[in-house]
Amino acid sequence: MAGFYLTGSINVASVDDAFKLVGSRLQPGVTRVPDGEPGDRANWVLTQADVFLKNPTLDVVDGKVRVRPGTTVADRLLVGVVAGDPGAHPPAGHLPGQHGEHRR
């Protein structure tokens, strides 16, 4: 199996549950595992609505955020930013302890 890594949330109650789930279902291929974003961090993305709503390349259509038609990758980058650079995206607010990640 090719190596790969997971990003984002894992919908389980605890960090231990996240590791057990990944270990039992996705090994030996996983090389990096997020901590699952349990507890208060489970729905952190909901706190980012203001970041998305201020993005000029996004529209809210029927209650869903969508990329504006005709928007290209170049349109989404800040002036002087190269695709893939951390500065290519507006800063998002993070909750304390959010950066739980573990590598093999």
Mean pLDDT on 66-83: 64
User: Is pLDDT at 20 greater than 50 in this prediction?
Assistant: yes
- Mean pLDDT (whole number) for 49-69: 77
pTM of the model: 0.45
Q: H or E stretch including 4?
A: strand 4-5
- DSSP letter for each residue of 6-72: --S---SSSHHHHHHHHHHHSTTTEEEEE----GGGTTGGGGGHHHHHT-TTEEEETTEEEEPTT--
pLDDT, tens only, 23-40: 899 888 888 888 777 777
Say what the pLDDT of residue 6 is. 82
The span from the CA of 55 to the CA of 10, in Å, is: 26
